Each structure stands twice: as C-alpha cells, then as structure tokens.
C-alpha cells in the first residue's frame, strides 16, 4: 500500500497544484518557462502514475476486503462508466454542447469513473485508489468552475452533430474498453 499511496500523492498532488496554489503555479511558469514547467509536471505525474500502477498491482495480489458490494451496484457502475466515457469524449470532440453544459467534462468524467469503481469494489486498495480520485476530481471540478465564473467564461456554442459525434465516440470507446481492453490491461473482465 505504500507504493500506491506514494503514487497517489505524487500524481494527484501534481494535479492539485492549480486547485491549492494557482498563484504559485503561475509564478513558477513565469520563472522557469511553460516548457520547463510542463516537463517537470509530466515527469512527476508519470512517476506517480507508474507507482500507482505498481502499488495497485501489489496490493491487489493480497486484498483486504472492507465490504462486499451488492450485485446491483455493478449495473449502476456500468452505467456510470459509460457516462464517464461520453464526458471524456466531450472534452475532445469539437463543437459539442455537452462540454458547454458540463464545463470541464474530463474532470466530470473522472468523477463518474471513480464513483463507479468505488461502488463496485470493496477492497481496501480499491477504496484508496478510487476514493482518492473521486475526492480529487470533485475538488478539481469545483475549483475549475469557480475559475471559469471569475473569468466570466461563456461556453462555446455546439451543434447536434457535435453531440452525436461525442455520444458515438464515448459509446464506442466504452464498448472497446469494457468488452476487450479492460480484461487485457487490468486483468478484470467487467462483464465476464
């Protein structure tokens, strides 16, 4: 659990700088330059992500069960993950109205993904991982929305075609991941 915890601190800590120290972040970018800041940020994030993966794998081999999720929560979880994929697609597909309505759909997608996995897993290591991501994503979302409000940001207009492309991309990504990649990459078949 030590590697998992250290990885979460590095990865989510790096991603929290804008939430807790936005002025300090801006000062460092001015001081070192945007490229150097992004390079350091990327290296620390990658190291944290590697530790999360390694630590989760080790902890998963000797799980400590906290609770046994009811089977019905697996269905709720599947729907939430589908929503997470659509929200993630909304962050990247141009001209969709979902991005404007949700504002920061990637972080909203991480919130849905983490909540879904927290519901479907009762082991201590899963609770630590998904609970940490859920807490971070909720704070990141609120912080980003506050920044948007202060800046007077007006969402860009979208179209029905952009919405359709977003939904199609999200559903396609979900299907590929849920029915094929999740088992290959994570070792768990969500519907198997």
- What would the pLDDT profile of 105-162 be if each residue is shown by its tens digit? 999 999 999 999 999 999 999 999 999 999 999 999 999 999 999 999 888 889 999 9
Among 62, 87, 108, identify where a domain stops: 62
- Domain around 43: 1-62
Picking from 62, 94, 109, the residue at the C-terminal end of a domain is: 62
Overall residue count recorded for the chain in this entry: 192
pTM, entire model: 0.92
Q: Are residues 101 and 189 in the same domain?
A: yes
Which pLDDT score, from 0 to 100, does residue 192 have? 72
Query: What total of structural domains would you count in the chain?
Result: 2
30 and 102 in a single domain? The answer is no
């Amino acid at each position: 659990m030590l590697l998992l915890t250290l990885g979460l601190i590095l990865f989510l800590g790096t991603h929290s700088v804008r939430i807790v120290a936005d002025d300090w972040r801006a000062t460092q970018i001015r001081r070192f330059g945007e490229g150097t800041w992004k390079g350091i940020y990327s290296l620390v994030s990658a190291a944290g992500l590697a530790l999360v993966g390694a630590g989760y794998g080790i902890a998963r081999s000797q799980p400590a069960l906290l609770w046994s999720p009811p089977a019905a929560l697996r269905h709720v979880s599947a729907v939430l993950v589908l929503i997470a994929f659509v929200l993630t697609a909304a962050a990247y597909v141009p001209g969709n109205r979902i991005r404007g309505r949700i504002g920061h759909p990637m972080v909203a997608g991480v919130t849905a993904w983490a909540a879904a996995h927290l519901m479907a897993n009762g082991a201590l290591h899963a609770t630590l991982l998904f609970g940490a991501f859920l807490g971070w994503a909720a704070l990141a979302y609120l912080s980003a929305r506050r920044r948007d409000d202060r800046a007077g940001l007006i969402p860009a207009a979208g179209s029905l075609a952009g919405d359709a492309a977003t939904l199609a991309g999200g559903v396609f990504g979900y299907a590929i991941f849920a029915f094929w990649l999740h088992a290959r990459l994570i070792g768990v078949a969500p519907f198997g």
